[in-house]
Structure 1
Amino acid sequence: MSGSVTTKFSRILVYLADGQKCRNPVDFSQCLLELCHDNINTDNNKDILYQSFEERNTTYVTCSLDQDKLILSKSKQENGGVMLKHPPFCPMLKISKEGISELPAEISSRGVDVGVVALLQSSDNRVLLTRRAAHMRTFPSTWVPPGGHIEQGETLFQALAREVCEETGLIIGGSDEQLLCAWESVYPYVLTMGQPKRHHLVLYYLIKLQNSYTELASEMKLDKSEVDGACWVDKDLANLIAGNHEIPITHIDKNMEIQQFCKKSESWITSLLPYSVFLTDAPTCGPDIERVSTGTRFALEEWLKL
């Protein structure tokens, strides 16, 4: 796209399928959820009557990579679609026409990037979360599964395997993978924290591994330039993170054992982190805090449904 930001690699962008052959690049300031809902309106030639608040902020889609373009198509769950969701405070849903006109050209011309994320499931049903390093430009000190961008010429799984290996040292080649859900991510995540700078479609894949979490933890070689913490979350904590408060908090330890990079000793150490950090909601104003990302909460909710 003309005017796009120069990067070290060719970015993979989102295109919206409109019919069998028409594929339109999604503008940076366009809300993916709204576009999908608008497609329904066009196809059915009538307005949608949303039955619930949840229905407004979700839809089912299929995603495919074709000639380094991520093709997003409206679908149905029974036809293999996965849920696409965004938070009700999504900046691209809330931004005004004036706000869009004020975006710098190098931002407004970016398009919507694609990210792939691996929800690594151990043989004893734990999933890996990593804490993004504090110096990261987007979502610093936020707990997420390992993942990142797709490079030109890669398949979605190749990108997953590379990102997981780069961040954790784990090899997932030949693993059982399943597209779990999709998330529309914008940074900053609310307009009260500033103009949008990044807009992503994040694809969450479930990767089932054959080893226990303790075996996998011993094999990990975490990259301190990208992550500064890691832990394996069990289903009780995952339920709480996902917002299922029917599970008593007494069913989990008050502290979570994590691997953390210690700058003083320049080494990885085992330490304890209060589980309250994992249950903290994203603030709507002021500086961000250490927490689990909203998209990760959604992905854990979808994982638990399985």
Structure 2
Amino acid sequence: MDNVYAGLGAPHGAWREDEACDFPALSVSQSITGHFCASHEDEATVCCGLDQNQFVISDSEFPGSTQILLKRPSFCPIKHLEERQAAALPEALRGRGVDVGVAVILQSVDRRVLLTRRAKNLSIFPNIWVPPGERTRMKLAGLRELQEETGLRLEPGEFSWRMLGLWESVYPPMLSRGLPRRHHIVVYLLLLSTESHQQLQTRIKADESEVSAYAWLEPHVLECIAAVEDGAENTERIPNNLPTTIEATELSGGSAQPTELPAATFLNTAPAAGEDVERVSTGTRFALRLWAQLEHLFFCPLGYLNPGTAEVLSTAW
């Protein structure tokens, strides 16, 4: 599941790799979202799914596809990339295509959601808070990716799931920080566990090379995070109902230590220029807004979520 194949009005069966003229694999300098909406818009409702291990996005339904929201940020570098800038991209990068990643919004039965802070030494989005699994080169998906990063293994019957949305992600996230080096679509999945966050916490063995900290966040904190929009005016920096600190676990030297982090860190926005800051990723905020729309249904999850099976999440997504 390495590249995205996208098409408009493609007939059934036209998304095969050997028929790229009908359903082409997009290049790193082409916007996936822009393929399906007007140039001044930043979202579209699409159909997506796997075909022969290729991730396909279409404006038409096809066997096994799911209808879902696809979105990019208003400041998406690919959206604002000029022809001369696209021509300046290295040849190897221009032919790279668009990668696919899977990020897991893991919610405990007591309605906490797990976020992880990416290690500082990572080349892509270092020191940024994301759900487990948000990578640019995706070889494992769903449950296997969750287990690889956090050590959590969920067995069939211990969770339910659904797809939340698709996010078009580019690094660096703004042209002011340089030309695009990585371009991928993040598939956000919601996993609803039958265990409490305390039970899940005892089993976490996070990979320190990928994760430097993690936290189980409460619904009202998540809603405050989701309300902040990168690239927009956010007049209320710290809502009244937000605690001053957030309980988290930091990893260092092979040990995990409880700590408290400033809540304001989770409300930081992406700077328009200069070095990035520790913050929640723009795509994660998008996923949490979709999560918040479903939150009132969480007390009867089987009514809208799919029964959890290892096969579904390790092979389909």
Q: TM-score range by the shorter chain?
A: 0.7 to 0.9
- What does residue range 88-103 of structure 1 map to in structure 2 within 5 Å? 88-103=74-89
Measure how far apart 1:17 and its partner are: 2.8
- Quote the Cα distance in structure 2 between the aligned partners of 1:118 and 1:160: 7
**Consecutive aligned runs of 4 or more in structure 1 exceeding 3 Å deviation:** 244-248
1:85 pairs, out of 66, 71, 94, with 71
1:163 counterpart letter in structure 2: E
Q: Is 1:162 matched up with 2:144?
A: yes
Measure how far apart 1:80 and its partner are: 4.9
When residues 277 and 75 of structure 1 are mapped into structure 2, their CA distance, relative to the original with a 3 A threshold, is: farther
1:191 aligns with 175
Measure how far apart 1:125 and its partner are: 0.9
2:299 aligns with none
Instruction: Show CA shifts across 1:170-193 (max 9, x none).
Output: 113433221101100000000110
Q: In structure 1, the residue corresponding to 2:29 is in which secondary structure?
A: coil
1:118 aligns with 104
Task: Provide TM-score, normalisation by structure 1.
Answer: 0.84
- What does residue range 52-67 of structure 1 map to in structure 2 within 5 Å? 56-67=41-52
- Quote the Cα distance in structure 2 between the aligned partners of 1:168 and 1:262: 15
When residues 176 and 247 of structure 1 are mapped into structure 2, their CA distance, relative to the original with a 3 A threshold, is: farther
Contact 2:160 2:193 (C-alpha < 8 Å) held by counterparts: yes
1:290 aligns with 278
1:243 pairs, out of 224, 227, 230, with 227
Measure how far apart 1:248 and its partner are: 7.7
Name structure 2 gaps, 5 residues minimum. Answer: 15-21, 229-233, 295-317
Contact 2:238 2:264 (C-alpha < 8 Å) held by counterparts: no
2:245 aligns with 255
- Quote the Cα distance in structure 2 between the aligned partners of 1:280 and 1:169: 28
2:205 aligns with 221
Instruction: Show CA shifts across 1:107-147 (max 9, x none).
Output: 11100000001000100111110000000010000000001
- Quote the Cα distance in structure 2 between the aligned partners of 1:247 and 1:214: 30
- Quote the Cα distance in structure 2 between the aligned partners of 1:283 and 1:293: 12
- Quote the Cα distance in structure 2 between the aligned partners of 1:119 and 1:271: 22
Contact 1:75 1:81 (C-alpha < 8 Å) held by counterparts: no
1:69 pairs, out of 54, 58, 80, with 54
1:23 aligns with 23
Q: In structure 1, the residue corresponding to 2:227 is in which secondary structure?
A: coil
Contact 1:239 1:247 (C-alpha < 8 Å) held by counterparts: no
Task: Provide TM-score, normalisation by structure 2.
Answer: 0.81
- Quote the Cα distance in structure 2 between the aligned partners of 1:34 and 1:173: 38
Contact 2:176 2:272 (C-alpha < 8 Å) held by counterparts: yes
Q: Is 1:200 matched up with 2:204?
A: no
